[in-house]
Structure 1
Amino acid sequence: MGNYVARAEVDVRAPRREVWKLLTSSGSHPEILFGAEVVSDWRLGSRIVWRGEWQGRAFEDHGRVIELDDREEPWRIVLTHFSPLSGLPDVPENYHALHFELNATPEGTHITLDQDNNPTVEAARHSRDNWVAMLQGVKEVAERSAASRPA
């Protein structure tokens, strides 16, 4: 089994604090993660659950917050992630680590998301495409929120 990394990146015209809050909050936005509900208290070691529907099938992915740092540049959060829809056994070697880094830019925030433990190049491409879609949703929600705030 390989260990291919899927990388997705996006620039968001919103302050880093606002993007961070959006990424580390529970609830759902139709534009983000295909409308999945996210449940976590977002503390180091805490469980995280993503539930929703994908291509007509209900899912409940899960993982843990394994790294959390909003004090240093870049801000970083690392989550483990397992999806039962993968058809694989729920054992640690079948989990991905999701590495989110938020860097402040003159225009707002640059988000980089890396997902490890993809078994093939094709699987990494598929994951990258899903994460690109998710980050575009984050961009849309954060920029809409930033635009609605008084200057």
Structure 2
Amino acid sequence: MTGHVARAEVIVKAPRSAVWRALTDPEQVRSWMLGTTLTTDWQVGSPITWQGEMDGKPYEDKGEVLEVEEQSRLRVTHYSPLLGKEDRPENYHTVTWTLTPTRDGRTTVALEQDGNDSQEQADQFSQNWQQMLESLKQTAEA
């Protein structure tokens, strides 16, 4: 992990398999990630893109799949031109989702995003991710 790290976490009343589907199935991702179109084959080393519209402006974020541990851990790089930085490796974040089963059949979803320039930026991303994880929870529990 580099730079300041954003973190978010939620407990989902659903098994890991349902949470994994919500996290990796493009149709389900669209429902919790503000209408984003996710494109990837989930193979390590493959490209991943997120396309959509934010505040009326179209965007296309991109990255690479770094790690896929079925129903357990997902790690990707992420670059967004909306942040106003050049498309260079040092301007990519690494986003890691970790799914942990609880004893009562629920799933804890923890997210970390590194590469933030300041603690303030990390805090802002933490808030954004927390809102998205709450939406992910609703999707997985449905």
Q: TM-score normalized by structure 2? A: 0.92
Q: In the aligned structure 2, how far is the partner of 1:102 from the partner of 1:28?
A: 17
**What percentage of residue pairs aligned between the two structures are identical?**
41
CA distance in 2, matches of 1:10, 1:125: 16
Gap runs ≥5 in structure 1: 145-151
Deviations 1:85-134 (A, max 9, x none): 01100000000000110001124100000000000111111111111111
1:132 aligns with 2:126: no
Q: Tell me how many residue pairs correspond in the alignment.
A: 140
Distance change >3 Å, CA 131–CA 90, structure 1 → 2: same
Q: Give the counterpart letter for 1:69 in structure 2.
A: E
Change (3 A) 1:112 1:17: same
Q: In the alignment, does 2:69 pair up with 1:78?
A: no
When structure 1 is superposed on structure 2, of 45-54 and 87-96 the one drifting more is: 45-54
Which amino acid letter does the alignment assign opposite residue 47 of structure 2?
R
Q: Which amino acid aligns with 1:132?
A: Q
Corresponding letter in the other structure for 1:121: Q
Describe the superposition over 1:41-72 as per-residue Cα deviations: whole angstroms up to 9, x where unpaired.
Answer: 1111111111111122111100011011127x
CA gap 1:20/1:39 in 2 versus in 1, 3 angstroms:
same
Please name the residue that 2:63 is paired with. 63
Aligned to 2:119: 121
Does 1:27 find its partner at 2:27?
A: yes
Q: Whole-Å Cα distance in 2 between the matches of residues 40 and 112 of structure 1?
A: 22
The equivalent residue for 2:44 is 44
Find the residue that maps to 1:60 and give its secondary structure.
strand
Q: Aligned AA for 1:111?
A: V
| Alpha-carbon distance in 2 for matches of 1:70, 1:53 | 29
Compute the TM-score of the two structures, normalised by the length of structure 1: 0.87
Match of 1:101 in 2: 98
Structure (1 or 2) with the larger CA radius of gyration: 1
Q: Where does structure 2 lack aligned partners over 5 or more consecutive residues?
A: none
